[in-house]
Amino acid sequence: MDEMDTCPCGSQRAYGRCCRPIHTDGAGFGTTAEQLMRARYTAYVLHDEAFLLATWHPDTRPEHVTFTDDVKWHELLVVETTRGAALDDSGTVEFKARFERNGERLELHETSHFERQNGTWVYTSGE
């Protein structure tokens, strides 16, 4: 993805000024839980397994992330954020991610849970 392309996370900002610094420099994995959630969504779009695993809490992290070529991500909509601000230790982000698989339009609706670990946001679980 080019730095000037619109970031897939729905921010309407260029990727180079949105999720790319978080992906490439770590950038504290974002200053809020929502920033991390958006960066993780973009990592799924880009098949960035290393970033997803690095931002997953070690107690719940899988060995690897599987991507399939038959999934095309279309849109991320943040429904609600509870806590997860710069000074919080935990937070949740409810979102809807619209995608297509084998020509069928689908939607993932999840509430993701995040914790700050050693000053850095990590994903713990989703429901």
Distance of CA 75 to the CA centre of its chain: 12
Full DSSP string of 21-66: HHHHH-GGG-SSHHHHHHHHHHHHHHT-HHHHHHTB-TTT--S---
Indicate whether 44 belongs to any domain: yes
Q: How confident is the model at residue 27 (pLDDT cuts 50, 70, 90)?
A: low
Indicate whether 7 belongs to any domain: no
Indicate whether 120 belongs to any domain: yes
Indicate whether 62 belongs to any domain: yes
- Identify the CATH number of the domain in which residue 105 sits: 3.10.450.50
Question: Is the sign of the CA dihedral 75, 80, 85, 88 positive or negative?
Answer: negative
Q: How confident is the model at residue 43 (pLDDT cuts 50, 70, 90)?
A: very high
Indicate whether 91 belongs to any domain: yes
Output the pTM of the full model: 0.95
- The tally of domains found in the chain comes to 1
Tens of pLDDT, residue by residue over 51-83, are 999 999 999 999 999 999 999 999 999 999 999
Inform me whether the pLDDT recorded for 9 exceeds 80.
yes
Six token digits for residue 80:
């609600």
Q: Which domain holds residue 108?
A: 15-126
Indicate whether 39 belongs to any domain: yes
- The whole-angstrom separation of Cα 7 and Cα 11 is 7
Distance of CA 58 to the CA centre of its chain: 17
Indicate whether 5 belongs to any domain: no
Cβ atoms of 116 and 50 closer than 8 Å: no
Classify each residue of 4-24 as buried b or exposed e, where b means 16 or more C-beta atoms within 10 Å of its C-beta. Answer: eeebbbbbeeebeebbbebbe
Six token digits for residue 86:
């710069």
- The whole-angstrom separation of Cα 122 and Cα 78 is 18
| Residue with tokens 């509870």, as numbered in its chain | 82
Q: Specify the pLDDT at position 102.
A: 92
Indicate whether 3 belongs to any domain: no
Instruction: Report the percent of the chain where pLDDT is more than 70.
Output: 98
